Amino acid sequence: MAAALQERTAAEIRKDLMLRVIAHRLQGQEFGGLSDAGCRLLRQLATMFEADPNAVVSSQPLIKPGTRLVRQWKEQVHVVKVEAEGYEYRGARYENLSEIARLITGTRWSGPAFFGLNAKQPNASEEAQ
């Protein structure tokens, strides 16, 4: 993107876009830029959209079919099997994890949060402490 912006003159770029670019760069200088994982994800998305501009990006974490998610809740262990199209829990199929989390807890939960998929993975320095 930086190369594309350098090819244009400032007059060719809409003012609101230029303000956003400048704000983004200032924020990066002040608080640090994107993580390596964030850069990789953006490169993957760019490649995907280059190949198919109408591609749809899911906000759900990518979990390989066959994976088993295990969660203990109130002294009971719950196992969910990830399938290609949805999830299997106690012999029934569900479209999303939130349905299963709600069934287990009786309250509204984010399924990915309930099963620990939103948890930040510790980096090497955090593990050493």
CA angle 34, 38, 43 (to 5 degrees): 115
Q: What are the Cα distances from residue 87, in Å, to 17, 58, 91, 93, 115?
A: 41, 16, 10, 6, 13
pTM of the model: 0.50
Span 26-47, pLDDT tens digits: 988 898 888 888 888 889 889 9
pLDDT digits (tens, 9 = 90+) for 82-117: 998 899 999 999 999 999 999 999 999 889 899 988
Torsion region of 86: left, alpha or beta (phi above 0 gives left; psi -120 to 50 gives alpha): left
